[in-house]
């Protein structure tokens, strides 16, 4: 999920994992400080995604039992 800088629209090589681990970073294009630590919406999407992944993993786990 590429995110453009909200200030200069430079595409930022950030993914949700990076944002959760490093919620504050500096845009390489314009130097604006990007603080994602207050963005609860992003965190919610991240935990939803993580939940989907663990759901998929548990499905495969069940399939493996019958294999």
Query: What residues make contact with Zn ion under the rule CB under 5 A?
Result: 5, 7-8, 10, 27, 29-30
**Residue number, 10 or 58, with CB nearest to Zn ion:** 10
**Residue number, 16 or 32, with CB nearest to Zn ion:** 32
Spatial CB neighbours of 20, under 8 Å, sequence gap ≥ 6: 43, 46
**Residue number, 2 or 67, with CB nearest to Zn ion:** 2
Whether residue 47 contacts residue 17, with contact meaning beta carbons closer than 8 Å, is answered with no
* In the complex, minimum distance from the CB of residue 1 to Zn ion, in angstroms, rounded to a whole number: 17
């Amino acid at each position: 999920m590429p995110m453009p800088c909200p200030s200069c629209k430079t595409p930022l090589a950030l993914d949700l994992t990076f944002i959760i681990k490093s919620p504050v970073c500096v845009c390489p294009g314009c130097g604006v400080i990007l603080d994602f630590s207050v963005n609860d919406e992003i965190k919610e999407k991240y935990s939803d995604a993580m939940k989907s992944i663990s759901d998929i993993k548990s499905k495969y786990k069940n399939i493996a039992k019958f294999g």
